[in-house]
Amino acid sequence: MSSRKRQTTPAATSQESTTTASSSKRRVVAIAPDADAVLRECRKLRDVMRSSSNETSDKASRVIPEGVPSSIVEVDELKAPEVLEGMESIALDIAQQVLSGKGFSMEIPSRAATNQLYVKEWDRIVLGGKRSSRSFLNVKESRKAAITLRVLQLIHAVLMKRIHITKRDLFYTDVKLFVDQAESDGVLDDVATMVGCTRSNLNVVASDKGLVVGRVQFVEDDDPIDCTRMGVGGKAIPPYIDKIENITSDAEFILLVEKEAAYMRMAEDRFYHRYPCIIITAKGQPDIATRMFLKRLKEELKIPVLGLVDSDPYGLKILSVYMSGSKNMSYDSSSLTTPDIKWLGLRPSDLDRYDLPDQCRLDMTENDIKTGKELLKEDFIQKNPEWMKELEIMVSD
């Protein structure tokens, strides 16, 4: 066991003193007296983002850098007719193979860990060009091939009906074939890479997980939403991000919080009134909807994102998923990553500097140290000397 200490759940300390002017209308709350001083750096970042007239377009930013294989897999945002066309093309190829008496096989981009690449110029993980064959005539592959074909059939029906379903719904459609939801979930990602679309384009989503509260308004499927008036806990981030439009905000930054407890403390205190901001949490490891929502907020509002995470390896790992992507979803990293999130909060190097008492610290566990050492080997961590320094403090004896 290491003698090093780490910060536990970050705590929000601001206190809301709002009272209601009437039973139906809440009076406006003035921002905190020190807001100008606290927000000065945020405003500098915001002004730079908004004044930049030479921003690289998404298309230009995806020009493959020198030294990166041209065979990498990068999916695109496709409309339903385009996704249907791609799926029908796969089905036609399978039908032709069956009619020729050869059974059928499918070429699928490999999502194995050995086929993941970190592209420094893009600051995100992408899927390499290796491919694998899935043949119905191969005894070891026949069941997986049948599952793939069944998932293709089910998703095609969903798209034709113009509806959304959850991953759990998909699994229960054919429990006897899938047996375990991990089987259908994995094949779902395979189908997205085969078609060349994002997973959200397949209209199969995960259950609600993320939360948002604060100074942002938008229209969700024709319903107006004001996240300052959604109760103490805020609004669940919908899995159907494509149904959100007309996003407006007077926030000066986005506060991305790792832990739900810290989020609830700030939400209840109405922290966003004192310091104009939008507060988001995914309650730990981020889900796809929260990652997509965060990226969209930053791109459309052009305000900085501050990440408030625990001062331990898991906190940095979560932050890196938002910024550089995850290996499981590397094929869709261009639509899920939010670069240049500022790490906010106490760091390991601050513990002794500010003489924090022992009751504010916890011993690093063996798993903490193992995770930290694994992160030190990752390219997306090594690019940031400050992160490297803090991680080295975490894992040192």
Active site residues per annotation: 172
Q: What is the 3-state secondary structure (H, E, C) of the chain?
A: CCCCEEECCCCCCCCCCCCECCCCCECCCCCCCCHHHHHHHHHHHHHHHHHCCCCCCHHHHCCCCCCCCCCCECCECCCHHHHHHHHHHHHHHHHHHHHCCCCCEEEEECCCHHHEEEECCCCEEEECCCEEEEECCCCCCHHHHHHHHHHHHHHHHHHHHCCCEEHHHHHHHCHHHHCCHHHHHHHHHHHHHHHCECHHHHCEECCCCCEEEECCEEEECCEEEECCCCCCCCEECCCCHHHEEEEECCCCEEEEECCHHHHHHHHHCCHHHHCCEEEEECCCCCCHHHHHHHHHHHHHHCCCEEEECCCCHHHHHHHHHHHHCCCCCHHHHHHHCCCCCEEECCCHHHHHHCCCCHHHEEECCHHHHHHHHHHHCCHHHHCCHHHHHHHHHHHCC
Distances (CA, A) of 272 to 209, 215, 223, 344: 21, 7, 23, 16
Cα separation, 106 vs 123, whole angstroms: 31
